[in-house]
């Protein structure tokens, strides 16, 4: 690992945990630093020389702090809450099961204890070529090329890809956030802002190395889930090589407003198959105002993957993704709430 400067930002950490920002905390924002939360992505990538920050600013809450998850319209989640804390939160499990399940099915128990919500949404792709500096990679070294195209692509994306990058976004939590129209709150040296979670990640296009719309030093402080009583009918279905401790090959985050079998609103996020957290608007339109039958669910799934672009190794993904979505929709429809 390369040498780097380490600093602890105690005021900032306390502010993030409680959601109340003090002037002292604001002073600690550092555009030249990489924030360290749980470290389960950052330290991994520093060890293999993929991320090379000169300065690391530690924003983890102290041992006595319990990051806040509180009712506020819907629910507000501190960015430094651990994945485990959020997954076990009673209000989240009751009112937004899709969110709790997306966290519960991610990584391993040890990782969920360590990792934070803010770090989770900003985790980097698991594209094997991104993680191996022996290969060209436009995301790691802009303009160097993409070793994945024509290479080993089993885990990579089929939606939202570009000719410069076909990496998949690996996280689970983000699919639930995008499905529910969550918002993200941030703090930067020039002020705070709140915007749709759907605007946080950027598709690869011609600049795969620019992954988010955050400015240098901008810190995610929390996530806001809207009040959505019908989101109790929601779930996260994840298909992977192992039942635990594996990234999604395909996943579906689904929430349904179903009345007498008719869909008044459907929200769908798709994981494991796309370059960024993916909202399946086309599939939602197919379901809107219709009886949720298996045939209708299949039509929605077909619409979701109509734009898929595959490689030899991941040609199975559209079919797997369609089946995952159909199963998720039918399971959500059958939920007793």
Q: Where along the sequence are the contacts to ligand SF4 (CB under 6 A)?
A: 125, 127, 129-130, 137-139, 146-148, 165-167, 208
Burial of 150 (0-12, 13-18, 19+ CB in 10 A): exposed
Residue 130 binds ligand FAD (CB under 6 A)? no
Residue 155 and residue 248 in contact, taking contact as beta carbons nearer than 8 Å: no
Closest distance to ligand FAD from the beta carbon of 283 (Å) = 22
Helix (H, G, I), strand (E, B) or coil at 329: helix
* Residues between 95 and 114 that touch ligand FAD (CB under 6 A): 106-107, 111
Long-range contacts of 190-194 (CB under 8 A, 24+ apart): 192/21, 192/221, 194/224
Q: How far is the CB of 120 from ligand SF4 (least distance, A)?
A: 19
Interface residue with ligand FAD, options 17, 21, 37, 81 (CB under 6 A): 37
Q: Does 328 bind ligand FAD (CB under 6 A)?
A: no
Residue 148, contacted partner among ligand SF4, ligand FAD, none, CB below 5-8 A by kind: ligand SF4
Q: State the angle between helix axes of 294-304 and 317-334 in degrees (0 to 180), rounded to the nearest 10.
A: 140
The answer to whether residue 118 forms part of the interface with ligand FAD (CB under 6 A) is yes
The minimum distance between CB 303 and ligand FAD, in angstroms, equals: 26
Residue nearest ligand FAD, CB atom distance: 119
305, two tokens: 């993957």
Q: Which is nearer to ligand FAD, 253 or 297 (CB)?
A: 253
Long-range contacts formed by 315-322: CB under 8 A, 24+ apart: 317/158, 317/249, 317/250, 317/272, 317/273, 318/158, 318/273, 320/239, 320/249, 320/250, 321/158, 321/250, 321/252, 321/270, 321/272, 321/273, 322/298
Identify any residues that bridge with 69 across adjacent strands, giving them in sequence order: 77
In the complex, minimum distance from the CB of residue 333 to ligand FAD, in angstroms, rounded to a whole number: 26
Give the nearer residue to ligand FAD in terms of CB position, either 38 or 128: 38
Q: Which is nearer to ligand FAD, 30 or 287 (by Cβ)?
A: 30
The tally of CA atoms less than 13 A away on the side-chain side of residue 323 is 6
Question: Is the Cβ of residue 41 or residue 138 nearer to ligand SF4 in the bound state?
Answer: 138
Q: CB nearer to ligand FAD: give 85 or 123.
A: 123
Tell me which residues in 235-254 interact with ligand FAD (CB under 6 A). Answer: 247
């Amino acid at each position: 690992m390369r040498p780097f400067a380490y600093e602890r930002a105690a005021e900032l950490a306390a502010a993030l945990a409680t959601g109340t920002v003090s002037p002292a905390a604001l002073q600690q924002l550092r555009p030249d630093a990489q924030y360290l939360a749980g470290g389960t992505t950052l330290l991994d990538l520093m060890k293999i020389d993929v991320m090379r920050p000169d300065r690391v600013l530690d924003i983890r809450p102290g041992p006595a702090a319990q990051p806040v998850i509180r009712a506020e319209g819907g629910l507000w989640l501190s960015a430094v809450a651990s994945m485990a804390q959020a997954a076990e939160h009673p209000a989240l499990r009751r009112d937004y099961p899709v969110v709790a399940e997306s966290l519960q099915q991610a990584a391993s128990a040890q990782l969920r204890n360590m990792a934070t919500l803010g770090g989770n949404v900003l985790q980097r792709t698991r594209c094997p070529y991104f993680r191996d500096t022996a290969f060209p990679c436009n995301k790691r070294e802009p303009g160097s090329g993409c070793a994945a195209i024509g290479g080993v692509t089993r885990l990579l994306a089929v939606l939202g890809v570009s000719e410069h990058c076909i990496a998949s976004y690996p996280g689970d939590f983000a699919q639930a956030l995008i499905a529910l129209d969550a918002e993200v709150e941030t703090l930067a040296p020039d002020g705070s802002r709140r915007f749709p979670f759907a605007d946080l990640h950027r598709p690869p296009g011609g600049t795969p190395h620019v992954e988010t719309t955050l400015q240098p030093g901008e810190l995610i402080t929390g996530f806001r889930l809207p009040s959505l009583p019908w989101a109790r009918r929601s779930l996260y279905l994840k298909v992977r090589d192992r039942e635990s401790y594996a990234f999604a090959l395909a996943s579906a985050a689904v929430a349904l407003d179903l009345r007498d079998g008719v869909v008044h609103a459907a929200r769908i996020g798709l994981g494991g198959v796309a370059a960024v957290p993916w909202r399946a608007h086309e599939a939602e339109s197919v379901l809107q105002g219709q009886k949720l039958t298996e045939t209708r669910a299949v039509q929605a799934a077909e619409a979701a993957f109509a734009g898929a672009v595959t490689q030899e190794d991941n040609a199975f993904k559209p079919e797997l993704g369609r089946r995952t979505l159909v199963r998720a929709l039918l399971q959500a429809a059958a939920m007793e709430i």
